[in-house]
Structure 1
């Protein structure tokens, strides 16, 4: 009898070990399924952010460009665009320092506050360069978040709407470039400063680093084309370097970068390196001429 009991005991113990191994295997299987599911979800989110948002925003931006051009051709402001006349007057070739409207930017009033940070990807508050802020709506200028112009960069094959303000959701995430409130409008003395995404949401400024001295950048605004020539590039600066969008743009972080005298400037800002918002890339240009826009 003792031998029989021993054999029974051995059999029971063997079954327990097999059951434990089976439970552990099921646990590993469930864990693998969870990890796989999470990986698929993350991959889908990345694909949505990097691919789908680009397609959606780029398509919407191009539709807005066509709407603006159609509106101008019909004598209006375009669908969702328009705004008042800015930068009247014409400058000749090489006229980097000639004002288009007596030096005062139409559609701005005194009283804006300084400070803030460069708006390269939607983070933070946009600074008000030069102590001025735009009048919202009315005949003085474009309303906040309103698309009212088209930025063209031939070297990059880029044509993208320009909207008033640099709000991330209302402007930048639509694939537009945003005009920093308080900076000059095209053609006027001062600094026409713009921000745009470098990655995702249409990424209009993805290849901004390819611009070189002498490249042309133009802005169409209801029948007029304001052409600027790239003069300087600041490859990297901090988000707090608001000097780069001042009326006379000059880095307050990197000594020796920028300009020293009044003129009519354009500034393009975006994040760098790609897929980060740690620093800002800045491209500056000076106004060459103003002509009737051709489409």
Structure 2
């Protein structure tokens, strides 16, 4: 008789019995806590705020630093494009002069150029109080986008031209875009403001300063503060925002005309002394 054998069952992977029983138990649902809708929203909001902070930081860098870099480069180009010959300080004489030097300053009526088209650069400004290297172009118009942001100092259309009877009124930024009038609060009564056109120097003297609201446009009237009054003297007015980093008010400097000189007569004494001349 043939002997029957019982087949041997081999458990999968030689798994122990206890583990096999565990496999047959139903799996419990994952009990890990899920993020609720509020938590997810807070996370998204936090990421948005971080992104916004980075963008704001980049904007501040662009506004306060990069606009100055671009504006300063543009100023150099504007000055070079004028093509005016560079005037050097008068050398200090090495011996006693044999004759009394002639005073180049003139106090009669100066030549006055015609008002140019908007965006035309027609003059420059030097301010000894702000150092010998300060030199800014003056262009026609006071539109922020067309003139003040791109070209620097702007001349109020319709006001007097340099040396003319009335009020030669100009505006410029105090911060950003080259900040031409950044140090305006340092000006003192008697300080020189030296304007140059192609053939003439015009020297004004600071007479007063004031802080006004943006609505007080009478500061650039032909007679500052007295709209409708006919002018009899030549003046200059500088306007800029006040306080720093704000446009809430305007800082105003008024100056009176002192003297003029032809550019071929050399530097005005106020600049000559500031640049180390006699």
TM-score normalized by structure 1? 0.67
Gaps of 5+ in 1: 1-7, 75-89, 108-140, 253-258
**Aligned mate of 1:269, from 239, 244, 261:** 239
Alignment of 1:1-295 (within 5 A): 12=29, 15=31, 18-20=33-35, 28-68=42-82, 71-73=83-85, 92=106, 99-100=109-110, 107=114, 141-157=115-131, 158-234=134-210, 236-250=211-225, 262-293=232-263, 294=266
59-68 or 147-156: bigger deviation: 59-68
CA gap of 1:176–1:220, structure 2 versus 1, over 3 A, is same
How much does 1:63 deviate?
Answer: 2.2
C-alpha distance in 2 between matches for 1:228 and 1:195: 16
Gaps of 5+ in 2: 1-25, 87-103, 268-278
C-alpha distance in 2 between matches for 1:230 and 1:56: 30
CA gap of 1:31–1:246, structure 2 versus 1, over 3 A, is closer
How much does 1:31 deviate?
Answer: 3.3
Number of equivalences: 221
CA gap of 1:262–1:203, structure 2 versus 1, over 3 A, is same
- 2:165/2:231 contact within 8 Å kept: no
Q: SS of 2:161's equivalent? A: coil
Q: SS of 1:63's equivalent? A: helix
How much does 1:33 deviate?
Answer: 2.4
Please report the RMSD computed on the Cα atoms of aligned residues, expressed in angstroms.
3.0
Query: Quick check: which has more Rg, 1 or 2?
Result: 2
- 1:174/1:202 contact within 8 Å kept: no
- 2:105/2:261 contact within 8 Å kept: no
C-alpha distance in 2 between matches for 1:261 and 1:223: 25
Q: SS of 2:135's equivalent? A: strand
- 1:175/1:204 contact within 8 Å kept: no
TM-score normalized by structure 2? 0.70
C-alpha distance in 2 between matches for 1:20 and 1:288: 76
C-alpha distance in 2 between matches for 1:261 and 1:142: 21
C-alpha distance in 2 between matches for 1:148 and 1:260: 26
Output one character per residue of 1:154-196: Cα deviation in whole Å (capped at 9) or x when no partner. 2123211100111111110015111111111111111111000
C-alpha distance in 1 between matches for 2:137 and 2:157: 16
